[in-house]
Amino acid sequence: MTSSMVDIATDDGVCDAYLSRPDGAGPHRGVLFFPDGIGMRPRLYEMADRIAAAGYVTLVPNTFYRSGRAPLIENLEELLQLEDRSKLMEAIMPIAGQLRPADVVRDAQFYLDYLATIAPGPVGLTGYCMGAGLALRTAAAYPDRVVAAGGFHGGNLATDAPDSPHQVAGSVAAELYFGHADNDPSNSPEQVARLNAALDAAGVRYRAEVYEGAIHGYTMADTRVYSQAAEERHWTALFDLFARTLAA
């Protein structure tokens, strides 16, 4: 496995991204990895490397590149370990608040094109926290390219807003998997039910599970909400999804 930082030109500038590639000649399929709201950092690179070690070329774009190249937050490692997360939120929100999902979906064309130069063929997606919603939106926007999408501890997936992610369900052709956190104010049981209803109505192939006892952010080992059991459950589900859909 080899990894490097790469630059990808978009309509709005240059996105810095982390690329992890499996060993061997392949062929390998591509995976586009949407970060959580905390953004690019070593923990996400570790996760991308694990996906690459399983045989998939994995690209993690800095979705906040319009605000600057990563890292964007000073003393991030210290902030992540604070019991009081208010200081972390104070650092994140000025950056995350400027992000428009429509811009990320538009950017995804360039990420998918970049992956196609290394790993031709259908692509899988995975996303965490806000990245789960971005994965759902991207699957809907590029149904001819995306065959699988996983979303883990996603937030605000099925709100009352007219542009809520669940509204795009009718355009999804990919198989989906959602691993919802049991303790997640940003993704209530009512939202989970609304998302499932939208997917059912659209005839989408999907599986949605609530991880009992898991807190929002459960895959992120660099935070205090991390759950090893929930993280491993997520890997099993994600790799099962990719095995079904991304055979090279």
- Cβ atoms within 10 Å of 16's Cβ, excluding its own: 17
Enter the tokens of residue 95. 């950056």
The half-sphere exposure of 239 on its side-chain side, counting CA atoms within 13 A, is 15
CA distance to 29, 62, 162, 194, 231, per residue, from 36 (Å): 23, 10, 22, 22, 14
Catalytic machinery residues:
129, 184, 216
Asked whether 125 and 139 are in contact (CB, 8 A), the reply is: yes
How far apart, in whole angstroms, are the C-alpha atoms of residue 183 and residue 137?
24
